[in-house]
A and B are shown apart, each in its own frame.
Chain A
Amino acid sequence: MKPRSGLPYLIVSLAIVWVLVTASTSSDELLIGGLAVAIVALAVRNLWGVFAGIRFTPRAIVSAIAYFFIFLRELVKANLDVASRVLRPSLPIRPGIVEVRTGMRSSLGKLMLANSITLTPGTLTLDVRDDRMFIHWIDVQGQDADAATKAIVSGFENTLKEVME
């Protein structure tokens, strides 16, 4: 179940968003929605391939749900972490930019990973180059790329790989 073009996924997601925004299934709304979906899909036609990596096997869907909860937990942890640093008078930070490796190959996979890293404790994605990501880390630990990769990337990556690629 992996079409070469990502177009079907794009159309389905756009249609869902339209129906949710208008909260109506009257034929007028659906007609305009169809037009809007077609225009948007044409406007981004060079990007269709980006959506092709997503999988829809039961295993992938379970992983996607698991991913959502891991993400939410990390986001809350990130906020408590920042809050505790900001509130302490000594402002305990040890920032730096570290290089990590990623095993995600598709653009969408890298985007999801980069976004997740940005929203989790103490890390902000600065740049992505091929299989390397450069991350601003608020509390640098360890000395080399391997240690940083393990600490920052691995947790998300294993779950993400089940969802796509």
Chain B
Amino acid sequence: MTIAGNVLVLLGSAFLVLGGLGLLRMPDVYNRLQAGTKATTLGAMSVLLGSAFLAPGLATKAVLVIVFIALANPISSSTIARSAYKAGIPLAPVSVRDDLKSKEAAE
């Protein structure tokens, strides 16, 4: 139990670190959100699951928090990305396509 818990916490932390690195290296807000969202979701889930193994008394609550994170994280990222787009923040020059541009212009 202790070993499994520690491994999960360590794995989760590793994903969180990689997510942070992603935030630094990605060229624009949209790509940063991509890196940030996925890493924090799985990272936090893994750390919480690990804590549940280490402290079984907290298991139900940890699982509940995992469910809430799985629901809330993607919604907040989508909302931030959408607001950024509506506020006119451009895609990085490396981007190859923008299907939403013509739709926005038509309105």
Contacts and interface: CB of A to CB of B under 8 A. Distances in A.
A120 B61 CA distance: 25
Contact of A86 (B22, B41, B63, B78): B22
Contacts of B71: 115
Given A75-B42, A87-B18, A114 B74 contact: yes
Contacts of B37: 118-119, 124
B97 A82 contact: no
A20 interface: yes
Nearest to A118: B74
Size category of the B interface is: 35 or more
Contacts, number: 129
B21 A86 contact: yes
Given A75-B38, A115-B75, A118-B78, A127 B100 contact: yes
Contacts of A44: none
21 contacts: A75-B38, A82-B18, A82-B19, A82-B35, A86-B18, A86-B22, A87-B21, A95-B91, A96-B91, A97-B30, A97-B91, A97-B97, A98-B99, A99-B100, A124-B30, A124-B77, A124-B78, A125-B81, A126-B82, A127-B100, A138-B31
Interface of A: 17, 20-21, 23, 75-76, 78-79, 82-83, 85-87, 91, 93-99, 111, 114-116, 118-119, 122-127, 129, 134, 136, 138, 140, 145
